[in-house]
Amino acid sequence: MNDSRILEISDLKTYYYTSRGIVRAVDGITLDLKKGESLAIVGESGSGKSTLAFSIMRLLPDNARIVDGSIWLYPEKIDLVRLSNDEMRKVRGRRIGMVFQDPMTFLNPVMKVGDQIAEAIMYHHGCTQKVARKRAVELLERLRIPDASNVALRYPHQLSGGMKQRVIIAIAISCNPEILIADEPTTALDVTVQAEVLELLRGFIHELGMSLILVTHDLGIVAEICDKVAIMYAGKIVEIAETYSLYKSPKHPYTIGLLKAVPTVHKSSSEVGGIKGNPPDLVNPPAGCRFNPRCPYVFEKCLGEEPPLIRVNNDRAVACWLMM
Ligand SMILES: Nc1ncnc2c1ncn2[C@@H]1O[C@H](COP(=O)(O)OP(=O)(O)OP(=O)(O)O)[C@@H](O)[C@H]1O
Ligand SMILES: [Mg+2]
């Protein structure tokens, strides 16, 4: 892994406009990603992980808006937030690929999976359908799908969850993107298949020198493949650190709670690692630190002032008044 930066997100804010009010789903996120690095974004359900991922891809629903901040793509340092839709289409897939949380919202149910991969290849490489179909089968083979040429002729509903997810990975990496964003790529799969798919992903990342942003609520799988972990809570990053040191000595009370709950952080749980309660409503989050209603160490300052994300040493930043 070298040290050059490939993506830099600066004070990003993405809000949803709803009848209930403004949902501050991503509310001032700053982070960077280096070439060949894999970064995990971890947090409970509703913390804004997918909103962050979709903001980078500029694939947000109509009621969402990026209201502030920048997403710089290097080496040119182009700001994806300000790119025209046409220019963004060229970045999507070609330079940044994405594996989605729910395979069926992404795959076309009435199109053979091989053709769906071939379509992506043709779109980006401008090759003939015949060449693209051949490459699609090769990709499926590389993803260790047995009898790949036959599988390519099947429709999504004829494939198992693990196979479908491999097809989606094939589409995402078909154009050899520099960055791959994987949003809960294995959540819908059973544990053994999860491990296989993650192993495949890890292999590809290394082989192709891709950078990875892995979105997950499961800290257990992160240790396997990521160099760095950003912990998200209620639209903000509360701690970011190199994976090993985060596991070894978590600093933020929320991170400590999450780690206690490994490996069984269930999305629907109202209690994470002994931390009672639920994440706040992002229409009307608590004043001060957003974690204060659940924090076992809360003190007066936490109620009134929001802690900034402060670098505490070379590889770690924490947003907690206890650290300052
Ligand atoms: N289309 C939408 N309209 C309004 N609010 C939304 C929309 N999509 C998401 N939200 C809200 O934005 C916040 C962040 O949601 P997001 O889906 O980014 O969380 P997440 O961390 O990906 O959760 P999960 O682990 O369940 O996938 C939540 O409060 C959610 O209810
Ligand atoms: Mg999500």
pLDDT digits (tens, 9 = 90+) for 227-285: 999 999 999 999 999 999 999 999 999 999 988 876 544 444 445 556 788 999 999 99
The pLDDT assigned to 143 comes to 87
Ion ligand 2 nearby residues (CB, 5 A)? 50
> Which mutation among 18, 49, 66, 272 tests ligand 1's pocket best, with the greatest number of atoms within 8 A of CB?
49
Q: Out of 44, 51, 283, 290, give the residue to mutate to test ligand 1, the one with the largest number of ligand atoms within 8 Å of its CB.
A: 51
pLDDT tops 90 at residue 91: yes
The atom of ligand 1 lying closest to the CA of 48 is: 18
**Domains assigned to the chain:** 5-95+180-281 (3.40.50.300), 102-176 (no CATH)
According to the model, what pLDDT value does residue 62 have? 97
Query: What is the predicted pLDDT for the residue at 268?
Result: 45
Q: What is the pLDDT of residue 176?
A: 87
pLDDT digits (tens, 9 = 90+) for 275-318: 788 999 999 999 999 999 999 999 999 999 999 999 999 889 99
Residue range 202-225: mean pLDDT, rounded: 87
Strands (E), 43-138: 64-73, 78-79, 96-99
Q: Which atom of ligand 1 is nearest to the CA of 184?
A: 27
Distance in Å, CA 292 to ligand 1 centroid: 21
Report which protein residue has its CA nearest ligand 1's atom 2.
16
Decide if 54 contacts 316 (C-beta within 8 A). no
How far is Cα 289 from Cα 303, in angstroms, rounded to an integer?
A: 6
Separation between Cα atoms, residue 100 and residue 126, nearest integer Å: 24
Closest CA to ligand 1's atom 7: 16
- Compute CA distances 225 → 37, 73, 85, whole Å: 10, 23, 32
d(CA 243, CA 222): 8
- Give me ligand 1 centre to Cα 92, in Å: 22
Amino acid (1-letter code) at residue 90: K
Calculate the CA dihedral of residues 5, 223, 53, 207 and round it to 10 degrees: 60
> How do residues 256-266 score in pLDDT, each as one tens digit?
998 887 654 44
